[in-house]
Structure 1
Amino acid sequence: MSTAHGMRATLTAFAQPAALTLFFFGFSSGLPFLLIGYTLSGWLKLDHVSLDDIGLISYIGLTYSLKFLWSPAVDRIRLPLLRRLGQRRSWLLLAQCILAMALLGMAQVTPHAQLSLFLLITGVAAFAGATQDTVIDAYRIEIAPPEMQGALASTYIFGYRVALIASGAGALVLAQYAGWSEAYRIMAALLLVPIATTLLAREPVERRARAANWRAALDDGVIGPFRQFFERFGANLALLLLAFILLFKISDQMLGPVALPFYLDAGFKLVQVAEVSKLYGVIVGLVGAFAGGAAVLRWGAERCMPWALVAAALSNLLFLLLTWHHGSMPLFVVMISGDNFSTGLLGTVAVAFLSDLTDHRYTATQYALFSSLTVVSGKLIGGLSGFIVGTVGFSGFFIFSCLATLPALVVWFWVRPRLLQHHAAN
């Protein structure tokens, strides 16, 4: 591919109408992620919840890892009152409305005084967020051909990262000056924009045949996606792929519960964290996401994957800088730059890679399974992060998080040649 032709192809991919839609859908997906994770951990810490409990509470995020359990319903069940919107948009609108109400509910409850109720409402928000992720992933895969998925992944992540600015830097600044409850009310109001996008967006062409009866629906909707995946790749390669998907984002995911408490312990104020980590850092992450999208369009997701993995793992070692130099703003900027660029790069490569593995007949269920597996290992370890830090300290934890990528790299070098053989045979 010539440079000029490659540039034209890249611009064409980013200029398609679906790219703008995916930007707003990415914003909708990204908004709750920090509000039930990173930002929430800051609220809990300042509300005198212990670090051990904060780590355990982060297990609410495992809802995202379990979304494949109800993804067949998202693929197959038509919502009676919303069916005229189509399968994808009807489910998306329902999930977005429930999410907005749950965020408003969190704003009405004080964590330390009503912790059980607060966690229940947070769980509803996580369930709604995970459901909308399932729908949006299916929408993205169905709305454009495979060669455009790299561009759609980039614009989706662009929107996602803008939402991280709002729910990270924006929420922290609002909490500093207006209080946590007001911050969460404003976050709920921001969902009005993606809700309007859902109402105006084009529904993808439905490629799934409707089952004749409930037995056929159960077989096709629940068993079919898994059977098709193993038949398509063969048992050995399918298992290797699932093992890789389970492992490759561990180092990134496990930092979540302790990152903000670490910044606060390192001597930074909420406003400083907002400015550097959740404003400047997210912008750097956008650069990484677009770099990943351009790389995928030029070289393909599989060739980019090992380099993105290594970059993400090494970026965790930058956290050691703040363990040695507490309160150093220049080193904080360096650390955030490396971490967010590599995370954005890996995120785009991962989305394109997982999309390539998905069959259009089972987009919601298969992609939900893949994306669930990407977070489950890191979330499980992340939930114990408070105990790990208490045992080995922050320095030992960050080194461990870097080394946690090694199993994924080992599996990748088993998977890659077998994938090449599979592509050649098909």
Structure 2
Amino acid sequence: MPRKTWRAALAAYATPASLALLLLGFAAGLPYMLVFSTLSVWLREAGVARETIGFASLIGLAYAFKWVWSPLLDQWRLPLLGKLGRRRSWLVLAQLLVAIGLAGMALCDPQQNLSWLIALAVLVAFASATQDIAVDAYRLEIAEDSRQAALAASYMAGYRVAALLATAGALYFAEWFGSTKELYKHSAWAGTYLLFALLMLPGLLTSLWMSEPAVPLRTQLSAARYGFTHQMVSVLVLIVLLVSVPAMFTQLYRTDFESVLFHGGSFLDLLLHDRAFLRALLYIILTSLCLSSMGRRGLAPVLTPINDFILRYRWQALLLLGLIATYRLSDTVLGVMANVFYIDQGFTKEQIASVSKLFGLIMTLLGAGLGGLLIVRFGIFPILLIGGAASAATNLLFLLLADMGPHLQMLVLTISCDNFSAGLATAAFVAYLSSLTNLKFSATQYALLSSIMLLLPRLIGGYSGVMVEKFGYSDFFLITALLGVPTLILIAWQWRREGPQENGSTPTSSSEQPTANQP
């Protein structure tokens, strides 16, 4: 099949679907930053202890484990709101809960009602994560694979603008309303959060205005195989399993087996006197119940989408998961130490903020926009390969900067190239993940794959400080660049295996891919 023209590629942005994803991206970016980044400033200004603020950041686990309850969005239609459709009803519910939660946070002074403030922040985080699941599922179902990058670029543009407004903008509004570091004023922060609760309105109106994706009815019926009670049991069993397994190993590690093996003790002594051993036994029992035949039946709503993915790709599923887990590895691991590196180089906070917010934002949006355009024109795999190579190669610019001191022009060039490549890579990767999902389980599979995408980079990123201390910045940047090589090999293997496809894109992941129904 011939490639599409540049005019046809640009037309991918001139659609109602792109506008809808722009506004939905804006609605997604606001609560995320308000709950994490901006909330920590509010709490600190109100005199809350750093330890408490640190514990409050655990609210972010809602985003890391959103795949746990994502089957609900695939397999259960909401009462009353369900008349809007499977996707729009969940979007409207999530956005209403975000707006209500932000308004409730505005009414809570952390100096007097900190517990209520944190509880409402948890509500906002879970509603926001649910909104993300619904938006991703909606995007997957309204367009073919080659247009996913353009929709993702539109979403990213709205998200980045909202993120800037909810961080720097929120701090500006709070200070303008009268709250400063020296003189805390709750009414200023209340006005700020009420303002941002109102800014959820464009996203809510978009969800009411756009049309429900034209997914075939039998696709929806085959996905909705389980009742609400069964799905809730599945979520509870999965949560118990996720808690029990790591807790079991932790308690076994703390158990005093040395006294039994080397000092003549007995397991009866462990049962009577070692609380860690008793807790380990409890978690072993819970894990066994979850993995029993009864527990597996309870997990069916979660396991069915996973089984579908494995059955479709068989042994290749492992290589695909390897590609997914490593694609953002090089830039994510470096990103953990980026701001620390800038400070150590001698740049001022004003310089870092100005360059990263101005050039970083512009170049990310340009990279994402170009990525969406190029994928429509040339297909997914070429741009996926270029994005992966660029993300790794730009780490070498940090290596050069490490030997130049606080060189502002080089900082601008480094941040610009790094953010441009990140935008390009993200657009390509979203399109690729979209091509792997089955429309019967679009919410569940995309949520799970996107979680896998972040798991390994976050784990290795946790040791980035140790790597810098041991090797120094120059070798650290070289190592992060080399982390991108395995990904490029996996992309090349997958591209060769797929062979030439229409417009160079991967084949659709479902035999019932819908037409590009516009909102």
TM-score with structure 2 setting the length:
0.69
Deviation at 1:324, TM superposition (A): 5.4
Aligned to 1:209: 221
Aligned to 1:279: 358
Moved more, 136-145 or 30-39: 30-39
Partners of 1:281 and 1:185 in 2: CA distance: 28
Aligned to 2:162: 163
Residues 151-230 of structure 1: pairs in structure 2 closer than 5 A: 151-171=150-170, 173-174=172-173, 181=189, 184-207=193-216, 208-209=220-221, 211=224, 214=227, 221-230=301-310
Moved more, 23-32 or 365-374: 23-32
Aligned to 1:359: 438
Which amino acid counterpart does residue 203 of structure 1 have in structure 2?
E
- In the alignment of these two chains, the number of paired residues is 421
Aligned to 2:63: 64
Partners of 1:113 and 1:421 in 2: CA distance: 63
Equivalent pair of 2:10/2:373 in contact (CA under 8 Å): no
CA RMSD of aligned residues (A): 4.0
Any idea what SS the aligned residue of 1:203 has? coil
Partners of 1:260 and 1:125 in 2: CA distance: 28
Moved more, 65-74 or 245-254: 245-254
Deviation at 1:363, TM superposition (A): 1.0
Alignment of 1:129 with 2:128, yes or no, is yes
Which amino acid counterpart does residue 77 of structure 2 have in structure 1?
R
Equivalent pair of 1:25/1:194 in contact (CA under 8 Å): yes
> 1:112–1:22: structure 2 CA closer, same or farther, 3 Å change rule?
same
Partners of 1:132 and 1:76 in 2: CA distance: 16
Equivalent pair of 2:226/2:301 in contact (CA under 8 Å): no
Equivalent pair of 2:98/2:123 in contact (CA under 8 Å): yes
1:183-227 deviation digits (Å, cap 9, x = unpaired) = 555444322211221121111124311656649987874333222
1:105-132 deviation digits (Å, cap 9, x = unpaired) = 5666788999877665544433222211
Deviation at 1:19, TM superposition (A): 1.4
Partners of 2:312 and 2:487 in 1: CA distance: 22
Partners of 2:387 and 2:225 in 1: CA distance: 45
Partners of 1:157 and 1:92 in 2: CA distance: 18
Equivalent pair of 2:25/2:158 in contact (CA under 8 Å): yes
**Structure having the larger proportion of residues in helix:** 1
Equivalent pair of 1:59/1:383 in contact (CA under 8 Å): no
> 1:169–1:8: structure 2 CA closer, same or farther, 3 Å change rule?
same
Aligned to 1:374: 453
Equivalent pair of 1:28/1:191 in contact (CA under 8 Å): yes
Match of residue 348, structure 2, among 263, 268, 276: 268
Structure 1 spans left out of the alignment, 5+ residues: none
> 1:267–1:103: structure 2 CA closer, same or farther, 3 Å change rule?
farther
Alignment of 1:237 with 2:284, yes or no, is no
> 1:187–1:328: structure 2 CA closer, same or farther, 3 Å change rule?
farther
Match of residue 341, structure 1, among 393, 407, 420: 420
Deviation at 1:172, TM superposition (A): 5.0
Equivalent pair of 1:55/1:386 in contact (CA under 8 Å): no
> 1:206–1:131: structure 2 CA closer, same or farther, 3 Å change rule?
same
Equivalent pair of 1:41/1:257 in contact (CA under 8 Å): no
> 1:167–1:275: structure 2 CA closer, same or farther, 3 Å change rule?
farther
Moved more, 197-206 or 145-154: 145-154
Deviation at 1:310, TM superposition (A): 1.8
Which amino acid counterpart does residue 221 of structure 2 have in structure 1?
A
Moved more, 151-160 or 111-120: 111-120
Structure 2 spans left out of the alignment, 5+ residues: 181-188, 232-297, 512-519
Aligned to 2:14: 15
Moved more, 15-24 or 104-113: 104-113
Partners of 1:135 and 1:65 in 2: CA distance: 15
Moved more, 210-219 or 18-27: 210-219
Partners of 1:13 and 1:206 in 2: CA distance: 20
Any idea what SS the aligned residue of 1:80 has? coil
Equivalent pair of 1:58/1:257 in contact (CA under 8 Å): no
Partners of 2:404 and 2:352 in 1: CA distance: 16
Deviation at 1:351, TM superposition (A): 0.9
Aligned to 1:314: 393
Give the fraction of aligned pairs with identical amino acids, expressed as a percent.
42
> 1:291–1:42: structure 2 CA closer, same or farther, 3 Å change rule?
farther
Aligned to 2:89: 90
Partners of 1:144 and 1:129 in 2: CA distance: 23
TM-score with structure 1 setting the length:
0.82
Partners of 1:177 and 1:263 in 2: CA distance: 29
Aligned to 2:269: none
Partners of 1:362 and 1:140 in 2: CA distance: 13
Which amino acid counterpart does residue 165 of structure 1 have in structure 2?
L
Q: In terms of Rg, which structure is larger?
A: 2
Partners of 2:406 and 2:108 in 1: CA distance: 33
Equivalent pair of 2:324/2:449 in contact (CA under 8 Å): yes
Partners of 2:32 and 2:130 in 1: CA distance: 12
Moved more, 179-188 or 18-27: 179-188
Aligned to 1:289: 368
